[in-house]
Copies of this chain bind each other. A is one copy, B any other.
Amino acid sequence: MKIKKVAIVGASGYSGEELVKLLLSHPHAELTAVTSRLYAGQTLAQIFPKFANHPKAKALKFSEPNSEVLAKQAEIVFLALPHGVAAEFAVPLLKAGCTVIDLSADFRLKSAEVYKDFYAHDHPAPELLAKSVYGLPEIYRDEIKRAKLIASPGCYPTSILLPLIPLLKAGLIKANGIIADSMSGVSGAGRKAELDYLFVECNESVRPYGVPKHRHLSEIEEQLSFAAGAQVTIQFTPHLIPVNRGILTTLYLAPEKHFTNAAEMFTLTGQIAECYQKAYGNEPFVRLLEGKALPDTKNVVGTNVCEFAWRLDPRTGRLIVMSAEDNLVKGASGQAVQSMNILCGFPETAGLV
């Protein structure tokens, strides 16, 4: 299989670092460039000693990000940049013929108005919104195959969309009234020197934030609306907890058809199980937990797997779904590599665990 040349713009943040890890050891990709304004001129081995054993890490130096240069170095360029900045690179790179896999929020929405509402500035390249593909492989695999611009989903959205989309498409749950309560590790805040994310401020602490209108709501609701065929508005509360990695989401849902006795509950149980089995039974990176097992972030951290379990509650009539993922892998860099595998025709699991 032909080796693809790949580059990472913004390789010094946590998502960038995870991309470096995955792409250094990818069997069908060659990492040819990594950029970082902060570390330009230093080698990968100097900045990330943990990769120093890789032969490439001693040779490859961080460079200043430059679209023109990057377009010559790589066929596929990953952008691990803040929203608003990613578009600046995507436009020239696409023009130069590169495939762009963007981990920022810049191309996840179809609507420039919604973008402005949630991100508080005009969209920097609205003409590209229609062309970008939302890089959630379990849902958009066919579109990813043909994409030139992939908007890799956010970490919270992945943990929420994977369990919800099949249920909505199958009409098993009400599209209104959905509640998503999430807990995220601190790497989700990025490698930023801010007081709020100091060890002492996060350790022995748990706190909600971004209540009630977190930015990720925009892409979550857009995708859920596509699945439901109607406008969906959800309640979403993120919490910061003292782990490095991992997101745990608990979803509170109302079954479309209310169950009032054991027989109806049994029927619904079968329908949900069948729905998930059909949607994800053969997916390499979705794990449907069985028996009494409940998700635990420690069982997915370091992997590209999103695992989930669900329970019908006969006392309240609700369906509870709980999902776990590594926010930096399935929630960011692993999923981006999964998309690359699909669009390049590599085995979808190549370089991923």
Contact = CB atoms under 8 A, between A and B. Distances in A.
B315 A248 contact: no
Contacts of A204: 204, 243-246, 297-298, 301
Contact of A197 (B14, B199, B205): B199
B297 A205 contact: yes
Given A318-B235, A322-B208, A203 B294 contact: no
Contact of A241 (B237, B242, B291): B242
A334 B157 CA distance: 36
Contacts of A307: 49
Given A49-B307, A50-B300, A287-B53, A213 B315 contact: yes
Contact of A207 (B14, B179, B252, B296): B296
A207 B294 contact: yes
A186 interface: yes
B244 A212 contact: no
A295 B207 contact: yes
A211 B242 contact: no
A11 to B, nearest CB: 15
Given A181-B181, A205-B297, A241-B206, A289 B49 contact: yes
Interface in A286-308: 287, 289, 291, 293-303, 305, 307
A211 B315 CA distance: 12
Given A205-B298, A296-B207, A315-B213, A237 B53 contact: no
A146 interface: no
Bin chain A's interface residue count.
Answer: 35 or more
Number of copies: 4
A194 interface: yes
Given A207-B248, A248-B206, A297-B204, A239 B183 contact: yes
A200 interface: yes
A187 B200 CA distance: 6
Given A199-B242, A206-B297, A193 B191 contact: no
Contacts of A193: 193-195, 198
Contact of A206 (B186, B191, B246, B353): B246
A202 interface: yes
A297 B207 contact: yes
A234 interface: yes
A208 B295 contact: yes
A258 interface: no
B199 A322 contact: no
Given A198-B193, A199-B244, A208 B250 contact: yes
A49 B293 contact: yes
Contact of A296 (B179, B206, B302): B206
A205 B296 contact: yes
A52 interface: yes
A287 B49 contact: yes
Residue among A185, A235, A252 having the largest count of chain B Cβ atoms under 10 Å: A235
A284 B244 contact: no
A320 interface: yes
25 contacts: A49-B307, A50-B300, A179-B252, A181-B237, A186-B203, A192-B198, A193-B193, A193-B194, A193-B198, A197-B200, A200-B244, A201-B298, A204-B244, A204-B246, A206-B241, A206-B243, A206-B246, A206-B248, A206-B296, A206-B297, A212-B313, A212-B315, A212-B318, A234-B316, A302-B302
